[in-house]
Structure 1
Amino acid sequence: NSGIGSNGLTAARHDVLGKAMKEQFPESYDPAMPDDLAYSGGMNMEDIVDADGHKLPVAKLLLSPTRTYAPIVKGMRDGCLFDNIHGMVHCSGGGQTKVLSFIEGLHVVKDNMFPVPPVFKLIQQHSKTSWEEMYK
């Protein structure tokens, strides 16, 4: 898919948005959350970011709907390509690497990864999370 699922939105908000969110919307987080994790990014919702050549407010980038791969799978089914497919895995997190835990007795080489969506580049930049961890 193309972006953050609902289960990653809270972490993304805290990784990208700054402390002003804490003060402006105190009900949006648990006050027991460690201060260094609560809204630890440096951006405001109205800040403009470059998302692969498109200028967007941070809020729009964080909240943009996830585009799923269902239309692609439907096209493969309609095009009679299913005879050549021997397995599919739906990974709601760790999609680039999680699939490796479902394969036994085979060696998997993943050397042509999908491009990183702009929202994940933004999260990594502000959270300083390693790319290895970002792919999990």
Structure 2
Amino acid sequence: MCNGITLARHCLMRNEYGRKYPELLDPNGRGYYGRFAFDEYLDELDMTVGEAILSPTRIFAPVIVRILKKHWRDVTGLIHNTGGGQTKCLRLGKNIRYVKDDPIDPDPVFRLIQKEAKVGWREMFEDFNMGTGFEIIVKRGSVDDVISITERFGLGAKVIGRCERSDGRNRLTIKSKYGKFEYR
């Protein structure tokens, strides 16, 4: 398993970039094996491959501060989905079963990476946030207002699942149109 952005670069970018910039490569790795130029425009992405790979990470701090000011008693978890993708929640809490049964449909760049890298969707959900940059675990009574606050910041938000008790260690179930995946 690789870091998500490393996998994206390696499976999308042409091998000429590795020859031209060998310092970018892992000496023990496969190198770049993709078929795209950095400045190649793809209709399915509505941008160049380089723009898709280098799109900046959203800064969630302002919206989180606003939510916590109003709902700090009802927020039971905050997860910034970088490094660990959709499985990062497994690091939070004890004896919790996270059920993500209505995940956000992945952005087109994730479908492209999956196709080009020839990796399974299970690994994609482990390595990438799949379009869910931040998760807020909140009590039911505050859900609508938390979504409303988030939308006022120009961000999309929806309920993607729920938390249940788990015997023993934390568990995660993701049910998506790409399959059902279980993680521990």
Query: Cα deviation per residue 1:10-53 (whole Å; 9 max; x = unaligned)?
Result: 332112112122233334324x334xx2101111112112356x
Q: Which has the higher strand share?
A: 2
- The change in CA–CA distance for 1:106 and 1:11 in structure 2 (over 3 A counts) is closer
| Matching residue's letter, 1:13 | R
Alpha-carbon distance in 2 for matches of 1:22, 1:93: 24
Runs of 4+ aligned structure 1 residues displaced above 4 Å come to none
1:61 correspondence with 2:57: no
The reply to whether residue 124 of structure 1 matches residue 114 of structure 2 is yes
CA contact (8 A) 1:96 1:113 kept: no
Residue 20 of structure 1 contacts residue 44 of structure 1 at CA under 8 Å; is this kept in 2?
no
**Relative contact order (alpha carbons < 8 A, sep ≥ 6): 1 or 2 greater?**
1
Compared with structure 1, are the counterparts of its residues 112 and 69 closer, same or farther at alpha carbon in structure 2 (3 Å cutoff)?
Answer: farther
2:79/2:88 contact within 8 Å kept: no
Once the two structures are superposed, what CA deviation does each residue of 1:65-105 show, in whole Å capped at 9, x if it has no partner? 11133232123134x12221122234432242221343433
Unaligned runs of 5+ in 2: 127-184
- Structure 2 CA distance for partners of 1:91 and 1:115, relative to 1, 3 Å: same
Aligned partner of 1:33 in structure 2 is 28
Report the residue type matching 1:89 in the other structure: I
Q: 1:67 to 1:21 in 2, by over 3 A?
A: same
Find the aligned partners of 2:122 and 2:88 in 1 and give their Cα distance. 12
Q: Does the residue aligned with 1:38 lie in a helix, a strand or coil?
A: coil
1:3 counterpart residue number: none
CA RMSD for the aligned pairs? 2.3
Count of residues in Structure 1 that have an aligned counterpart in Structure 2:
124
Say whether the 8 Å CA contact 2:40–2:48 is kept in structure 1. Answer: yes
Task: Return the letter of the residue paired with 2:100.
Answer: K
What TM-score results when the alignment is normalised by the length of structure 1?
0.74
Give the whole-Å Cα distance in 1 for the aligned partners of 2:109 and 2:57. Answer: 11
In the alignment, structure 1 segments of 5+ residues that lack a partner are: 1-6
Q: Judging changes above 3 Å, is the alpha-carbon distance between structure 1 residues 26 and 86 closer, same or farther for their aligned structure 2 residues? A: closer
Asked if structure 2 preserves the Cα contact closer than 8 Å seen for 1:44 and 1:58, the reply is yes
CA distance in 1, matches of 2:124, 2:96: 25
